[in-house]
Amino acid sequence: MSDTLLAVQSVSKHFGGFTALSEVSVDIRRGERFGLIGPNGSGKTTLINCISGALRNDSGAIRFEEREISRLPAYQRTRLGIARSFQLPRPFSSMSVLENLVVPLEYVVHRGSLHTADTHREAMEILRSIGLADKAQTLASRLTQVELRKLELARAMAARPRLLISDEAMAGLSSAEVDEILAILFRLNEAGITIIMIEHIMHAVMRFSQRVMCLDAGRIICEGTPAQTVANADVQRAYLGT
């Protein structure tokens, strides 16, 4: 078994004349905590959209466990083990919190063999681990911002991913809430899930990531340990603004 879980190889993506991603290559290792930073519009979300299947890359290859996935529809990538949370929460708002988790459980984990009781028990376990158990029967449309962020993560976890992509799960949260989400992500990582984190809250990225990559205008300008990245002159100019 190779050490690389996800290999992004010279991936480019254009929107009309605009180059959103230009020859981006990166290997994500099994069990890694990987941070993705960069100014707004630098291509972070485009990159994870290409990885998760919401967008198709124009050129290059994306390999997950050595399998080329860049032409697979998103739902199949989820079934292979790539789950994501959305920057702006996208709950199934007509369903209860519990039911939100039942969707991936039914469509990814328990396809074909449906035992409602088991599915509900598993959904409850995930909700307990993320601190939403008391909201299980609440309609998703009635949740607060923090709860919605947690629901995004919980729903991604319910798909039993091997790679979890967290897209700005902490934007706009208080520092106590940021710590709470960080703790959840650390726990998931300890359980063996590889995590890519996109985040603007620098201290959170620095604390969480083993490796950080900075994008600017669709190009990789730096990749290394958090300390190396912060010290990099290009990163300071393009993103940190010193």
Partner 1 sequence: MSTGTVRFLIGAAIFLALAYGLTRLVSNEYVFFALYVVLQFIVLATAWNILGGYAGYVNFGSGAFFAVGAYTGVALYKALATPILLQVVAGAFVSGLLGLAVGALSLRLRGIFFSIATVAVAIVLETVVVNTPYLGGAKGLPILRPEPPALFHSYLEWTFFLMAMLAVLAVFCARYVETSWIGRGLRAIRDNEGAAECSGVPTLKLKLFAATLSGALMGAAGAPFALYLSFIEPTSVFNLNYAVSALAMPIIGGMSHWIGPVIGAVLLGTVQQLVTVTISSELNVLVVGVLLVLFVVGAPDGILGLVRKLRRPKAASAAGAAA
Q: Which stretch binds partner 1 (CB under 8 A): 39-47, 81-89, 125-133, 218-226?
A: 81-89
Q: Residue 226, interface with partner 1 (CB under 8 A)? A: no
Q: Residue 99, interface with partner 1 (CB under 8 A)? A: yes
Query: b/e map of 194-232 (b: 16 or more CB within 10 Å)?
Result: bbbbbbbbbebbbebbebbbbbbbbbbbbbeebeebbeb
Nearest to 86 by CA among 14, 154, 2: 154
Q: Are 28 and 194 in contact (CB under 8 A)?
A: yes
**What are the tokens at 216?**
């600017």
Q: Are 103 and 83 in contact (CB under 8 A)?
A: no
In sign, the C-alpha dihedral spanning 129, 131, 136, 139 is negative
Of 33, 149, 150, 155, the one binding partner 1 (CB under 8 A) is 155
Q: Residue 174, interface with partner 1 (CB under 8 A)? A: no
Of 64, 86, 208, 239, the one binding partner 1 (CB under 8 A) is 86
Q: Residue 150, interface with partner 1 (CB under 8 A)? A: no
With respect to partner 1, which residue has the nearer C-beta, 124 or 206?
124
With respect to partner 1, which residue has the nearer C-beta, 151 or 230?
151
- Of 6-35, binders to partner 1 (CB under 8 A) are none
Minimum distance from CB of 140 to partner 1 (Å)?
A: 8
Give the separation between CA 155 and CA 149, rounded to whole angstroms: 10
Binding site for partner 1 (CB under 8 A): 52-54, 73-75, 78-79, 83-84, 86, 90-95, 99, 102-104, 106-108, 114, 142, 155-156, 158-159
